[in-house]
Amino acid sequence: MKLPIIKHLTSFIEENDEDFVVETIETLEALTEVPSLKDEELDVIGELISNMYGALEVDKMIKEGSSKKDALNDFMKRVLGSIDK
């Protein structure tokens, strides 16, 4: 997950609607079923999907009252904390 991408996607959600990101995730998930995709291509799609789910989570935290900065920081702390376990 890359914080700058999550931050950019969060801004996109604020300016537009989260449905765009949800539908994009669904499309990318459907693409992962193409049997001819190489591992590297699947890795890129997986990274994009992870960043989009991260942005949706940050957006949810903002809607629950967190500032954008706090929501991004708290989310990344959770991600890093789960990696350390």
Record the pTM.
Answer: 0.89
- Is the pLDDT assigned to residue 85 strictly greater than 70? no
Query: What distance, in Å, lies between the first and last C-alpha atoms of the chain?
Result: 17
Return d(Cα 8, Cα 68) in angstroms, integer: 11
- Work out the angle between the directed axes of helices 3-15 and 39-63 (0-180°, nearest 10): 60
When divided into structural domains, the chain yields a total of 1
User: What pLDDT is attached to residue 84?
Assistant: 59
Lowest mean pLDDT among 8-17, 30-39, 52-61, 74-83: 74-83
User: What pLDDT is attached to residue 81?
Assistant: 75
pLDDT one-digit tens code per residue, 42-84? 999 999 999 999 999 999 999 999 999 999 999 988 887 777 5
Domain with 33, as residue range(s), is: 3-84
